[in-house]
Structure 1
């Protein structure tokens, strides 16, 4: 069987011999280092075990900088509460291992820590790959914004005008529309992870293949995303966030039903909003609470704001709440003017050609001559 390599940092070799013996017995190849070698500009990749008596001579900065991940081996000595707090404050700290404890579980403890360190290494490699992809995505975003400044979609009496602007933050916003014979789905999302973004795009592909749309179809899509979100969060060291606005419009009855998770807001010229933002956690626990039902009005005009609009403006434009600002603009402006004004406000103080966060504004207008089923 191929041996797995681990680093062992010690002060006293005699004190470390037992730890070395136990690791070798568990089929690990031990690369041992004296404590003073850590002070050199050396970077320890993979899984590292540090004898606990070394902790007092290593600073938080050294532990963070020199080790990809590490665990502390306790053997015959107590650790002060100060040292425990110190270790636990470092993101790449894995756990404590008491080699004087039950030997039956010791090998399993070594394996668990080694496997966890491998997961962290893979995550770092993915992050590095995504940084490379980020520069390419930035280029694509710039081209998209340049060549598709305003998108127009028409669905038999319902006109949707939408505009997207790229941001510099990780993840981003995506939206698309899906049409069947009678219904139209509007699907919008915002995440702070490229892995989540790829999951969202896969679910959008699933919607493209559907021929019948309903709230139940959207519920199935969200359930898949709940699972993928939970899996991504369990292996990530940062707090992930996913906001979703997904609803189905019945063009015959003008009924609307769907789900809102996060900072999506709808403002109506007539004063009757379809939905409003919420703070529901993206989880199946809140699926029913996030569900809404509403109805479009003939000749109705609605503006939908994505989370990026609120993030880029701090929820205020010219000293007024964004929603109030849009309401006032309804009185003397058409949809295109309102959308362009919002993007002007978001970009006016930016030195970069990008916003800080991706943002989407959407106008939904219902024709005055639409025949509505009674």
Structure 2
């Protein structure tokens, strides 16, 4: 979404969307294409020191920290949650006067990073104090003129407001992503109207709350890319809001790399899902804690299942599906939950275009 912002800005152009800093370095070193005026780099970390190594290789002028959450992904490799926050804070600490720090105003650990940077700060979120504020958020169960369901909200900044409609996706995380991208655009002198134009060309990412037609005229919410507690909670919140006349089925795989927080996190998910889902299928060893919690919550045992893998889950799910069902599929990358989505799709031939991990290397594992 950040790349979309600069893509409509007359002051510059984006040479490409770069997902990993090492891909960016290859571009810089070998100069195989024209060097872009703007480069968007995702700096991920799963071990202490990762981000600080990366910023020494590619020092940013604008740093964006999206979220930490109560139990962040990869926390198993850190001393505690504050250590994860400190790791990500490295992106903000290296910014210089005249640079910009873009921070999630709804996450206490992220917003506190404003005290550790020389850069100007823009915040984004639903809270009233956010620089770029999300308001009037809603989702629609009805298809729009694009032929797809989606989400609607407005972005506000310094008295201006623009409507945003994203079709083919659901969930508040997309609203957050839009607001963060808008803040980056604003940092580069864009007006909110141009921000809205940039977002019009957005297409759903594979495996990130993407709506896919399913067998028996069901709708699959494919969130199989990965899973952390905050993202799992957000996905559940989304399908809870969709319940209405819809039959809700949650297919939830293990959240990996949570270390000592794993049981706590999985139990919380089990309790949350049991509060409103019609059918729950937990997949994986760690999800036994969620299964146990759902049992203790009094969830109907005839609609509650625990499976060791996706193959077993499919045997249970297919007979249960009925027209109009909403099926959420989510789990960590290592759980390969996209295999479930592929078998439940109305058009499996579209898997290569719609699903994550469809290369020969992934399919062979």
State TM-score, norm by structure 1. 0.23
Q: Which has the larger radius of gyration?
A: 1
Say which structure is richer in strand.
Answer: 1
Q: TM-score, normalised to structure 2's length?
A: 0.24
